[in-house]
Structure formats: structure tokens, C-alpha cells
Structure 1
Amino acid sequence: MHTTHHCKARQSQRGISLKMVNYVLTHGALENDKIVLGKKEAMQRLADLEREKRLLMKIADKGGVVVVADGEALITTYNCSHRN
């Protein structure tokens, strides 16, 4: 997406980094001609990421988890302490 000179100037004045802009473009909600990620949505995203982090820490503590599937059927699951 092309960034205008005006947008670059306002970003600089307001301390809004390119990473912030890209994050809002990815995770924000479309409202008419705007893409918005408000404080409430940002706090919800943080809470979601914290839950995901806790889950990933549990998986890492097990050395990883393997799930064996056949089509739509889950056959078995086990801890993965090493990768072949």
C-alpha cells in the first residue's frame, strides 16, 4: 500500500511507527474508509496473546506435542521430546 507524504508526516508528529500502522492494517476493523484498532480491541488482543503464550509454554514444557490424524479422525497424541 502506498503511503502519502501527508501520512508519513503525521506518523512522525504523532509517534506512530510503521510497525503500528501495519499491525492496525492486519488486525483492525474496517469502518467506512478507516481501519480502526481501539484501546478496547488492543487490550482484548493482549489478553488473547497472553492465553496463547500460556498454552505455548505448556506445549514447550512437554518438549512439543504430536497429534496423529487420519482424515477427520484424531488417532492419538503424545509428547514430542525430540524431532526426527
Structure 2
Amino acid sequence: MAKTRHIHKRMSQRGISSRLVDLVSQFGMDHGDKVILSRKNTEALIGAVDTLKSQLIEVQTKGGLVVVEQDDHQITVYPLDSYSRKKAKEGDRRVLH
């Protein structure tokens, strides 16, 4: 969204960066022609980000995950590094002998 000269002046006077204005626009609550991001809403967002961070760390410790989907159905899930073509070929050779 375009910013007026007025908001640039007020941001400068009040020490509010463009990044903070963008955060309020993205995560704040609409109240008529205003968008408000309160302290309470900010605390809730921080909690959600902390939860997301711990879940992402869990995925990372598993080496990444793959979810197979088709037609709005989740079919299976497995660790990203669990499939090895080399191991699969070795397994095929053992079966043939």
C-alpha cells in the first residue's frame, strides 16, 4: 500500500519503522478505517510463532518430512531422507539372486 508524505513524517517523528507499520497492516484487526495491533494481540501472535518454531524444529530434527497428497487427500507421510535409490537397487539385486 502506498504511504503518504504525512505518514512518513509521523513515522519519523515517532520512531516507527516501515516494517512495524507493515506488521500492523498484516496482523492487526480491522476497526472501520483503522487497523489495530494491541499488546494482547501481539502476545497471542508471539505465542503462535513460538509454537510454530518448536514444530519446525521437530520437523528439522527428523531431517524433513514428505506428505503425499492427491485430490485433497493426504495419503502417507515419511521422513525426507528415508528413501534411498541406492538401497532400493541393492534390495532389488538381493531379491533377484
Q: Give the CA RMSD over aligned residues.
A: 1.4
Using the TM superposition, give the Cα deviation of residue 72 of structure 1 relative to its aligned residue in structure 2, in angstroms.
3.2
Please, which moves more after superposition, 64-73 or 9-18? 64-73
What CA distance in whole angstroms lies between the structure 1 residues aligned with 2:3 and 2:69? Answer: 45
Tell me the matched-pair count.
Answer: 82
> What's the secondary structure of 1:16's corresponding residue?
coil
Q: Which residue of 2 aligns with 1:61?
A: 61
For each residue in 1:23-70, what CA deviation from the matched residue of structure 2 results, as whole angstroms up to 9, or x when unmatched?
111111110110111111111100000000000000011110111123
Higher relative contact order (CA 8 A, sep 6+): 1
Question: Aligned partners of 2:72, 2:25: CA distance in 1, in Å?
Answer: 34
Instruction: Find runs of 4+ consecutive structure 1 residues off by over 4 angstroms.
Output: none
Computing the radius of gyration over CA atoms, which structure comes out larger, 1 or 2?
2
More helix by share: 2
Query: In 2, Cα distance between the equivalents of 1:15 and 1:39?
Result: 18
TM superposition score normalised by structure 2:
0.77
1:37 aligns with 2:25: no
In structure 2, what residue type is equivalent to 1:15? G
Identity %: 34
Give TM-score scaled by structure 1 length. 0.87
CA distance in 1, matches of 2:34, 2:52: 28
